[in-house]
């Protein structure tokens, strides 16, 4: 720190000294005296007209003694500082002064020697001038004769060249010195043409023309062989052009020879491609479509894919080897042809007459047409080979092949900047990527339909049957155990779909990898990610899942067609899971992996979730309808096949009612495996006995007593209708909520409503009415547990007994105690 401080102080002092010296001598920063008028004040100590006496007298008059003493002290300090600085300046520049003195002394010596040499040179130049004047005077008389003899000598040399030209050309032809022969002939061609009327010159011209024709034949043969180096071939073309060979014909010959070699490469590539398969007959295609649709388990899906995976054709080489061969053979040869052609006909500098023929423009047009024609054939072969890559297993080979194909075409773009070949190659890559996305969508659809087929088969096997039910809260019959396989099937199906989508996205993501050249193209940065992958692949597959699931609800028939009810329930839960979480997860994953830009119009997540929820609702409604119709069918047959007028006195609950309770319990367990319990209204403590109190209370006694008492003042129909006016309307086929209670309520409503309508179409005897009482009491004992509001079951069963009583010929109801004994015994 001390050393740095001392150095800075020293440099500051030097700057201050130099500034003071410049100020003293009147010099500015540029080393020049400032252009300002000199001061005439005699009291200016720095001016040229300074007068010490006047300055001193002025100080005595104006300053006090102390000021004079201070002024003296300051001036003494300045004088000492200036003396010290002057000494320092002299010491610092001492070596420079010595060196300047030595330099001046050396310059004096060098200039003295140079003066001597200049004097010597001047004397020599004077002697040369005198000698030249002497020679000119001596040859003055013979100058014209010498000039004439020189011209004759030149003419004789030219004549000698002309007479020796045939022999010279033959010698060059033997030595294959074609360039020298053409040059010699071009030098003499004009003279021979000018004096061709002279016999001697005519003979020389004929001989030379014959020799040059032979040379041209050899050059043409050499050009056609094309086996020489590029330099020799270029020289050959230039010589032929100098021999007035048509440039257009030379271009055609060059391109024709190159075409023959390139077509051999194309034929080799075509040999590795399978020929186009024959088109199947329309009937066979329709049969194949219908059989695959049936196997997939879709009742009306005509657009479902045929197979799960499309196997690649068995070829000798894979797609990467095919593209490598095409690039290494055809594209490399094409680039070599373009380079050679441009050097020969386009980039080669033309001189003389050739420059006026505009050969490069003509040659460029022919080259462009030549490249476009062969490139179109090559692209056709590449597209045919890409179309054979229909397997969706490994995508890396195809992407690497397309990347290599795109890279090699950039060489053509550099050689032919205005060519459309690179753009057409990029279009092939884009079409291949788009077609690949379609194949993956088809594979996903096939996978989904095959997964549904597997689920359907699993549901059909006895060990996975979910038709039975477990013990139902003290029910009369313990059903078959329900395995936990239904949630496992749902979990397995959902997980397999999600894993398959992830696998497909990983495969498609290879098209946008950073090390792939064409991934930087605008299409792959924008439209391919947003429209190709997100919309055409992911969104379309999600919609396919929803649409194909909804199609299971379009089957007709009393029993809901051939679709298992458990499959409807499972698909409804799958679509509901899609709506709650799966769709958002899949689309978020897609957007993150492919950096989807939302500039293009895309399908919102809310729209897809709405479609999935709609499908889930439709499937669940259809499940309720199917299960309700199955139970309704049993009840309808039990009513229609029995003689209710002549039946015996009831001693037991009918078996069909036990089966209804068992099936309802089984359905309750089945739905509970996939859906939450739901909300119920509070149950009364005697819910299982409320049927008896309803049937035998004061409300029922007036209804029935009026029917079989002759002096009844009021019609029972009127009483029933008045009761209905104050009852809540029941919507049988309303949409259900996504919980177990709502589903079971819908099924029981359909079943009991069917039972009611069937009862209204029959006529009952005394024991028939009593049997309906027993059956309805038995149903009331157990069905109230499954519904959201037990009053719903009470009302429908009350309507059934009331309708039976109205259609009874001898309406004598059974005692409630007897009904309870029969039901408890049953």
Query: In this predicted structure, which of 359-363, 795-799, 812-816 has the lowest mean pLDDT?
Result: 359-363
Q: Please give the Cα distance from 388 to 276 (Å, whole number).
A: 10
Q: Mean pLDDT throughout 174-187? A: 70
Residue 472 above 60 pLDDT? Answer: no
Point out the least confidently predicted range of 9-18, 237-246, 399-408, 803-812.
Answer: 9-18
CA distance 706 to 719: 10
Q: How confident is the model at residue 705 (pLDDT cuts 50, 70, 90)?
A: very low
Taking CA atoms, 283 is separated from 83, 288, 290, 298, 307, in Å, by 124, 9, 11, 21, 19
Among the residue ranges 49-58, 221-230, 684-693, the one predicted with the least confidence is: 684-693
Q: Which string of b and e fits 267-278 if b means at least 16 CB within 10 Å?
A: eebeeebeeeee
Per-residue pLDDT at 544 exceeds 90: yes
> For a pLDDT cut of 70, what percent of the chain falls above it?
71
pLDDT at 332 over 50: yes
Reading phi first (left if > 0) and then psi (alpha if -120 to 50, else beta), residue 150 is in alpha
Query: What DSSP string describes 102-136?
Result: HHHHHHHHHHHHHHHHHHHHHHHHHHHHHHHHHHH
- Is a pLDDT exceeding 70 seen at residue 547? yes
Looking at residue 448, its pLDDT comes to 92
Helix (H) or strand (E) holding 583, with range, is: helix 583-594
The answer on pLDDT for 409 being more than 60 is yes
* pLDDT for the residue numbered 188: 67
Token pair for 120: 């010597």
pLDDT tens-digit map of 82-130: 888 888 888 888 888 888 888 888 887 878 788 888 889 999 999 999 8
Least confident residue range of 17-31, 674-688, 806-820: 17-31
* Res 94: pLDDT: 81
To the nearest 10°, report the CA torsion of 335, 336, 338, 341. Answer: 180
Q: What's residue 346's pLDDT?
A: 76
Phi and psi based region of residue 175 (left: phi greater than 0; alpha: psi -120 to 50; beta: remaining): alpha
3-state secondary structure at position 602: coil
- What value does the CA radius of gyration of the chain take, rounded to a whole number of Å? 57
700: pLDDT confidence band, cut at 50, 70 and 90?
very low
Residue 430 to residue 523: CA distance in whole angstroms: 8
Q: Name the DSSP class of 809.
A: S
pLDDT at residue 173 greater than cutoff 50:
yes
Q: Higher pLDDT residue, 178 or 303?
A: 178
Instruction: Name the maximum alpha-carbon separation found in the chain.
Output: 183
Select, from the ranges 16-30, 298-312, 615-629, the one with the highest average predicted confidence (pLDDT): 615-629
Paired tokens of 751? 């079943």
Q: Which residue has the tokens 């008028």?
A: 37
Residue-level pLDDT at 498: 92
> If we measure between CA atoms, which residue out of 690, 687, 713, 688 comes closest to residue 702?
713
Contact 745, 784 (CB under 8 A): no
On the question of pLDDT at 771 being above 60, the answer is: yes
In the predicted model, what is the mean pLDDT of the chain? Answer: 75
Selected residue with higher pLDDT from 515 and 474: 515
Could you report the per-residue pLDDT of 410-451, keeping only the tens digit for each? 888 888 887 888 888 888 888 888 888 898 999 999 999 999
DSSP 518: G
| pLDDT of 577 above 80 | yes
Phi and psi at 764, nearest 5°, equal: -115, 150
Number of Cβ within a 10 Å radius of residue 356: 8
Q: What is the pLDDT of residue 37?
A: 60
Q: How many CB atoms lie within 10 A of CB 788?
A: 17
**202, pLDDT greater than 80:** no
Q: Looking at per-residue confidence, does 796 or 301 come out higher? A: 796
Identify which of 524-533, 697-706, 796-805 has the greatest average pLDDT. 796-805
612 CB-near residues (< 8 Å, 6+ apart): 542, 545, 546, 575, 576, 578, 579, 583
- Residue 644: name the closest of 762, 761, 753, 754 by CA: 762
Range ranked top by mean pLDDT from 8-12, 205-209, 275-279, 757-761? 757-761
- Encode 238-262: b = buried (16+ Cβ within 10 Å), e = exposed: bbbbbbebebeebbebbbeebeeeb
Over 60: is that where the pLDDT of 675 sits? yes
Between 432 and 679, residue with greater pLDDT: 432
| 267 Cβ neighbours under 8 A, 6+ residues apart | none
DSSP 3-state of 427 = helix
pLDDT attached to residue 476: 35
Phi/psi for 808 (5° steps) reads -95, 135
Model confidence at 138, pLDDT cuts 50, 70, 90, reads confident
Is 60 exceeded by the pLDDT of residue 139? yes
State the Cα torsion 775-781-785-790 to the nearest 10°.
80
Q: What is the pLDDT of residues 244-259, one digit of tens each?
A: 667 777 788 778 878 8
7 pLDDT above the threshold of 90: no
Residue range 608-635: mean pLDDT, rounded: 91
Give the residue with greater pLDDT, 160 vs 518: 518
Question: Of the given ranges (174-188, 294-308, 681-695, 772-786), which has the lowest mean pLDDT?
Answer: 294-308
Ranking 42-46, 184-188, 659-663, 738-742 by mean pLDDT, the lowest is 184-188
Q: What is the mean pLDDT of residues 684-705?
A: 40
Decide if pLDDT at 286 tops 50. Answer: no
């Amino acid at each position: 720190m001390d050393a740095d401080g001392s150095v800075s102080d020293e440099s500051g002092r030097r700057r201050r000294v130099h500034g003071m010296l410049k100020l003293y001598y009147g010099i500015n920063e540029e080393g020049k005296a400032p252009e300002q008028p000199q001061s005439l004040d005699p009291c200016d100590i720095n001016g040229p007209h300074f007068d010490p006496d006047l300055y001193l007298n002025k100080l005595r008059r104006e300053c006090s003694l102390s000021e004079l003493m201070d002024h003296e002290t300051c001036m003494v300090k300045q004088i000492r500082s200036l003396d010290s600085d002057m000494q320092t300046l002299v010491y610092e520049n001492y070596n420079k002064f010595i060196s300047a003195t030595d330099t001046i002394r050396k310059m004096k010596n060098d200039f003295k020697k140079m003066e001597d040499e200049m004097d010597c040179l001047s004397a020599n130049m004077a002697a040369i001038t005198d000698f030249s004047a002497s020679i000119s005077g001596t040859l003055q008389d013979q100058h014209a004769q010498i000039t004439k003899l020189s011209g004759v000598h030149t003419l004789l040399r030219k004549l000698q060249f002309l007479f020796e030209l045939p022999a010279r050309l033959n010698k060059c032809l033997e030595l294959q010195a074609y360039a020298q022969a053409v040059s010699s002939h071009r030098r003499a061609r004009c003279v021979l043409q000018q004096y061709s009327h002279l016999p001697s010159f005519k003979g020389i011209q004929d001989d030379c023309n014959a020799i040059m024709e032979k040379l041209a034949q050899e050059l043409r043969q050499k050009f056609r062989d094309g086996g020489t180096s590029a330099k020799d071939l270029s020289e050959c073309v230039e010589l032929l052009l100098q021999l007035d060979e048509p440039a257009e014909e030379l271009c055609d010959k060059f391109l024709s020879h190159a075409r023959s070699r390139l077509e051999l490469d194309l034929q080799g590539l075509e040999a590795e491609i399978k020929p186009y398969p024959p088109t199947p007959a329309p009937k066979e295609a329709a049969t194949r479509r219908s059989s695959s649709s049936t196997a997939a388990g879709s009742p009306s899906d005509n657009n479902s894919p045929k197979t799960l995976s499309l196997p690649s054709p068995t070829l000798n080489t894979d797609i990467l080897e095919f593209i490598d061969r095409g690039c290494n053979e055809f594209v490399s040869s094409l680039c070599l042809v373009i380079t050679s052609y441009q050097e020969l006909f386009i980039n080669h500098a033309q001189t003389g007459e050739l420059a006026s023929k505009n050969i490069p423009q003509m040659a460029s047009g022919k080259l462009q047409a030549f490249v476009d024609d062969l490139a179109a054939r090559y692209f056709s072969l590449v597209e045919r080979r890409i179309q054979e890559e229909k397997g969706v297993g490994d995508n890396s080979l195809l992407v690497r092949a397309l990347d290599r194909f795109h890279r090699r075409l950039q060489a053509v773009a550099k050689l032919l900047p205005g060519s459309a070949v690179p753009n057409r190659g990029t279009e092939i890559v884009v079409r291949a990527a788009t077609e690949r996305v379609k194949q993956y969508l088809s594979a996903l659809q096939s996978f989904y339909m095959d997964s549904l087929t597997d689920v359907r088969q699993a549901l059909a096997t006895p060990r996975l049957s979910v038709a039975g039910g477990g013990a139902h809260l003290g029910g009369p019959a313990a059903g078959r155990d329900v395995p936990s396989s239904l949630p496992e099937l749902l979990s397995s199906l959902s997980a397999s779909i999600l894993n398959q989508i992830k696998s497909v996205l990983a495969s498609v993501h290879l098209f946008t990898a950073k090390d792939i050249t064409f991934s930087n193209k605008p299409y792959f940065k924008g439209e391919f990610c947003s429209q190709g992958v997100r919309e055409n692949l992911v969104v379309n597959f999600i919609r396919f899942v929803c649409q194909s699931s909804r199609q299971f609800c379009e089957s007709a028939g009393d029993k809901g067609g051939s679709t298992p009810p458990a499959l409807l329930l499972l698909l409804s839960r799958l679509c509901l899971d899609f709506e709650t979480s799966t769709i958002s997860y899949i689309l978020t994953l897609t957007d993150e992996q492919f950096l989807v830009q939302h500039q293009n119009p895309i399908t919102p997540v809310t729209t897809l979730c709405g479609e999935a929820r709609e499908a889930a609702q439709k499937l669940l409604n259809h499940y309720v309808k199917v299960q309700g119709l199955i139970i309704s069918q049993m009840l309808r047959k039990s009513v229609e096949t029995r003689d209710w007028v002549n039946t015996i006195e009831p001693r037991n609950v009918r078996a069909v009612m036990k089966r209804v309770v068992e099936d309802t319990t089984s359905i309750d367990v089945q739905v509970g495996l996939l859906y939450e319990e739901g909300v119920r209204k509070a149950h009364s403590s005697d819910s299982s006995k409320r049927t008896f109190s309803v049937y035998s209370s004061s409300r029922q006694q007036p209804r029935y007593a009026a029917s079989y008492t002759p002096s009844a003042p009021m019609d029972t129909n009127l009483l029933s209708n008045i009761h209905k006016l104050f009852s809540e309307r029941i919507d049988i086929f309303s949409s259900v909520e996504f919980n177990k209670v709502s589903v079971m309520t819908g099924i029981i409503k359909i079943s009991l409503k069917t039972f009611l309508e069937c009862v209204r179409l029959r006529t009952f005897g005394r024991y028939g009415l009593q049997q309906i009482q027993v059956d309805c009491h038995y149903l009331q004992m157990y069905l109230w547990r499954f519904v959201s509001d037990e009053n719903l079951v009470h009302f429908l069963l009350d309507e059934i007994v009331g309708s039976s009583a109205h259609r009874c010929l001898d309406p004598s109801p059974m005692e409630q105690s007897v009904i309870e004994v029969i039901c408890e015994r049953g």
